[in-house]
Amino acid sequence: MADPKKFYEPTRVLDNEFWEKVYIAAVEEVVSRRMAFAEFERMSADAVREYALFKVSAKAETPAVFSESMTLALGALLTAYGTGAICTREELSLRNKALYDYLFGGAANASVVKQFAESLYPSRTRQLVPYLLLYAMYFSYNPSTAINAKVSNFRTVSVLGSERFWANPYKTKSRRSQIRTCGISEDAANPHAMYGQLIRWTARLRMSAKPWCKDRLFLFSDKLLDGQEAGVRAVTGFSVGAAIREFCDDHGLDQFVFKQLRPSSLEQVRVLFDGDIRASQVAANHRSRDTTDRSYTSDAERQRQWERLGAGIALRSRWVESDGLIDARSSQDDAHDVGAATPGWGCLDPFHSPMVGQVAGKLCTEYGGCPVCPHAQLDIDSPASAKRVTQLRELILNAQTKIPAQRWLSTWAPRLKRIDQFWLPQFRPETLAKSEILILTPLPPID
């Protein structure tokens, strides 16, 4: 009998290094396509003008004339199409027989046909892969949500006076729209910019597409310069899988599958928000937090959770063993290192303190010993750090009459000297001045 837990076993996430490689490769292709499309639009305008001048000259149009000038051939093709859909080859032969004979009269011109076709519209799923990957990475979409996205699922909205790109493609499994928004910029890989690029690139295909796929965002046609209705197709999961394998081969990447991007994207959210499952739940568009935890908690995140739990246990154990003397909450309130035994200080390795009497593998308990510890650090630009140093200095001075003289001279006098001669001089006068007006919780007494 199959193990029911296998049903909830999370998909393996992509590690950060590989995730970055995939992202960079996809962005490079999108940027390259945008530049190529802009150049083609510029060249198209010049080509139409050149063809118009040629027509005025009353010269005869022949395949030989077009073979001498690719720009002239492009101008003739765009003029034949006009502003409408790509016509069938039969229609093209009626509109411009000489151009038809040039393009399709021999195998020698197959490369020209391919170049024109791929500039006018996507002719393979492979060309759409970088856009699919980036949308899935940005919006944490699963494969079917991204693949089946519609033109009408995207729009620009105004939020508090700022324009944002709004997306709500439908997720069949949850039977609800997956709403995400993002800022708008001129970057080629910005979701809004990619959407505009795709709309312009697929415009002619959309005019002749069948009604059921006319609204799909990711369209292509493998009929080169042939506007057959049957040739316009929407991408499918099968074609995308094969295209991603080709994408990986083109960029020298290890193979991965589309469904790994959603959990990998949610993993990035977990890391950015310090393991907060609520942030992942929002990014995943889940109704239940349990769904996010059960299906989208990676092994790496589980390890981080154990580490956070272990750190909390270690801090509480130190608090108990020190009878409340070392309370990590004091350092946390100041946004300082909770591992250090003295509030306001930082520690390079609190589990391996070089101070006398400390045990390797346990958090340091040498409260007040940070000034003379080689592991100690201070944020010299922080008024809160400066305040904590001056608080410790005052405690040491006031303790002269409260603890045995021998102990004060052997233990606390060297620490006071280190504070006065090394630590305090590192703070700028303006930082010390700001620290004087700060009100922080008092430090525990020393003994």
Q: What is the DSSP string of 299-356?
A: HHHHHHHHHHHHHHHHHHHHHHHTTTSS-HHHHHHTT--TTSSSTT-EES-TTS--ST
Q: What is the 3-state secondary structure (H, E, C) of 56-90?
A: HCCCCCCHHHHHHCHHHHHHHHHHHHCCCCCCCHH
Task: Say how far residue 222 (Cα) sits from the centre of its chain.
Answer: 32
Tens of pLDDT along 363-405?
A: 888 888 899 999 989 999 999 999 999 999 999 999 888 889 8
Across the chain, which distance is largest between two alpha carbons, in Å? 113
CA dihedral 217, 223, 224, 225 (to 10 degrees): -80
Calpha distance 342→408 (Å, rounded): 18
Calpha distance 334→434 (Å, rounded): 14
Tens of pLDDT along 89-101?
A: 888 888 888 888 8
Q: What is the mean pLDDT of residues 321-337?
A: 63
Q: What is the 3-state secondary structure (H, E, C) of 154-202?
A: EEEEEECCEEEEEECCEECCCCEECCEEEECCCCCCCHHHHHHHHHHHC
pLDDT tier at 168 (50, 70, 90 boundaries)?
confident
Quote the tokens at residue 195. Answer: 């959407």
The pLDDT, as a whole number, for residue 247 is: 95
pLDDT tier at 261 (50, 70, 90 boundaries)?
confident
Residues 6 or more apart whose CB falls under 8 angstroms from that of 412 comprise 368, 396, 399, 403, 446
Pairing of strands 232-234, 376-377: unpaired
pLDDT tier at 34 (50, 70, 90 boundaries)?
very high
Tens of pLDDT along 43-63?
A: 989 999 998 998 888 788 888
Question: Are residues 101 and 63 in contact, defined by beta-carbon separation less than 8 angstroms?
Answer: yes
Quote the tokens at residue 196. Answer: 């505009």
| Backbone CA torsion sign across 210, 216, 217, 221 | negative
Query: Is 90 exceeded by the pLDDT of residue 417?
Result: yes
Question: Where is average pLDDT lowest: 160-174, 183-197, 217-231?
Answer: 217-231
pLDDT tier at 361 (50, 70, 90 boundaries)?
confident
Tens of pLDDT along 127-142?
A: 999 999 999 888 888 8
What is the share, in percent, of the chain residues with pLDDT greater than 90?
A: 28
Query: Is 50 exceeded by the pLDDT of residue 4?
Result: no
Quote the tokens at residue 353. Answer: 């303190």
Quote the tokens at residue 402. Answer: 């409260």
The pLDDT, as a whole number, for residue 337 is: 65
Query: Is 50 exceeded by the pLDDT of residue 7?
Result: no
The pLDDT, as a whole number, for residue 246 is: 94
Give the Cα-Cα-Cα angle 44, 203, 251 (nearest 5 degrees): 80
Tens of pLDDT along 263-313?
A: 888 777 776 776 676 766 666 666 666 656 655 555 555 555 555 665 666
Pick the most confident of 7-11, 85-89, 247-251: 247-251
CA distances from 398 to 327, 344, 391, 416 (A): 22, 19, 11, 11
pLDDT tier at 332 (50, 70, 90 boundaries)?
low
